[in-house]
Amino acid sequence: MRKLHLQDRKKMIHNFNAGPSIMPQEVFDKAANAILNFRDTGLSILEIGHRTALFQSVLDEAVQLVKELMKLDADHEVLFLHGGATTQFFQVPMNLLNENQSAAYLDCGTWGTKAIKEARLFGNVDVVASSKDKNYTYIPKGYKIPADAAYFHYTTNNTIEGTEMFSIPDTGVPLIADMSSDILSYETDFNRFALIYAGAQKNIGAAGVNMVVVRKDILGKVNRKLPGMMDYRKHIEAGSMLNTPPVFAIYVCLLTLRWLKNQGGVHAIEKINKAKAALLYETLDARQGFEPTVAKEDRSRMNVVFLIPDPLLEKKFIDACKEQQMVGVKGHRSVGGFRVSLYNALPLESVKALTDLIKQI
Ligand SMILES: *Cc1c(COP(=O)(O)O)cnc(C)c1O
């Protein structure tokens, strides 16, 4: 059993994991308390009914906070669903793409590639651009989206390859984005999207739930019959309670959303995220032997990917990270090298500690 109090643990460990990933300290503390005694009921959050006023208030507040933090208009609904972002890869085309229609997809990373594969089960996929030619180390630009596309789908942040797209493309068709790894990390006009989805385990909470923001008017247009659990409209009608929702995971989202609001919301966290990424990239660029892999203009502020070609220096870096309790820096198995994730909850101090190490090694 872990004997350390969590407060002490955080002083020692710098957690750069890509997902599930670091969460705010107060979220750990409050979630732990809720498991033992939820809101002084004497009951654990793990044993209360989901159709109780107690849980309804959790869900309502979480939905309200998402609307507030994302500045959503009244046409957008917020859902908490199961199955991770990976389920959205097929739920999106199942709800929005007829068999005889085409949807436009941007192929700019591993997750987008998976989304494309799943969409092909339901209709035609028009891959309008791809950065596969350079191992997805840049974001394609200057592509055209057919005016009759059912929608345009892209991944805002490529968690594995370390690229990020900050500007929203002007397409003339409904916009759909997988924002799993950069949602609520910078200000953008979320209302421009017809549908946004995000697994919770990077910036919003614990694994086991994913968030979907959907504009109601795009629904109900496909010909195929949908199983209830796959139909966004059914989830909207049921207020995310078509069946037993992931109660604890949603509660952890609520705690994280409250924390974000208390930090000053997305505007405030964006400033910190920019400072963290700038410090790390500047340090890497200045340090011989460390090579960021991504084109400068497309560098992600959430996942920083780099190589250390010299095996001796690489080993030194790995050993130093171990010694200084820096975890989660190893790159994705498909890319190699290193990946340092700088999600909302990662404090600037952890980036300072890492950049000090990089400078000194
Ligand atoms: C992590 C991730 C996923 C996969 O999420 P699951 O919850 O494991 O299904 C999909 N897309 C992106 C961009 C991710 O970062």
Domains of the chain, residue spans: 6-21+265-360, 32-262
Query: What's the CA-to-centroid distance between 182 and ligand 1, angstroms?
Result: 11
* Ligand 1 probe mutation, 111, 165, 335, 341, most atoms within 8 A of CB: 111
Q: Is 197 in the pocket of ligand 1 (CB under 6 A)?
A: no
Query: What's the CA-to-centroid distance between 321 and ligand 1, angstroms?
Result: 26
Class of domain 32-262: alpha beta
Composition of the chain by helix, strand, coil, percent to 5: 40, 15, 40
Neighbours of 50 (CB within 10 A): 17
Q: Is 19 in the pocket of ligand 1 (CB under 6 A)?
A: yes
CA of 109, closest atom in ligand 1: 13
pLDDT of 6? 54
CA of 199, closest atom in ligand 1: 7
pLDDT of 12? 79
Q: Is 343 in the pocket of ligand 1 (CB under 6 A)?
A: no
Cα 322 from Cα 198, distance rounded (Å): 31
pLDDT of 10? 52
Q: Is 178 in the pocket of ligand 1 (CB under 6 A)?
A: yes
In tens digits, what is the pLDDT along the chain, a chain of 361 residues? 334 455 555 567 999 999 999 999 999 999 999 999 999 999 999 999 999 999 999 999 999 999 999 999 999 999 999 999 999 999 999 999 999 999 999 999 999 999 999 999 999 999 999 999 999 999 999 999 999 999 999 999 999 999 999 999 999 999 999 999 999 999 999 999 999 999 999 999 999 999 999 999 999 999 999 999 999 999 999 999 999 999 999 999 999 999 999 999 999 999 999 999 999 999 999 999 999 999 999 999 999 999 999 999 999 999 999 999 999 999 998 888 999 999 999 999 999 999 999 999 9
Query: What's the CA-to-centroid distance between 125 and ligand 1, angstroms?
Result: 20
CA of 87, closest atom in ligand 1: 9
- In the DSSP assignment, the letter for residue 331 is P
What is the amino acid identity at position 258? R
Cβ atoms of 277 and 301 within 8 Å: the answer is: yes
**Maximum pairwise Cα distance, the chain:** 61
Query: What's the CA-to-centroid distance between 291 and ligand 1, angstroms?
Result: 26
The encoded tokens of residue 326 equal 């820096």
Cα 244 from Cα 51, distance rounded (Å): 9
| Vertex 114: Cα angle to 158 and 159 (nearest 5) | 15
What's the gap between Cα 77 and its chain centre? 18
pLDDT of 142? 93
Cβ atoms of 51 and 57 within 8 Å: the answer is: no
CA of 210, closest atom in ligand 1: 7
Query: What's the CA-to-centroid distance between 88 and ligand 1, angstroms?
Result: 10
Q: Is 155 in the pocket of ligand 1 (CB under 6 A)?
A: yes
Question: 358 in helix, strand or coil?
Answer: helix
Cα 347 from Cα 25, distance rounded (Å): 10
Q: Kindly list the catalytic residues.
A: 111, 178, 202
CATH of 6-21+265-360, one of 3.90.105.10, 1.10.1740.110, 3.40.470.10, 3.90.1150.10: 3.90.1150.10
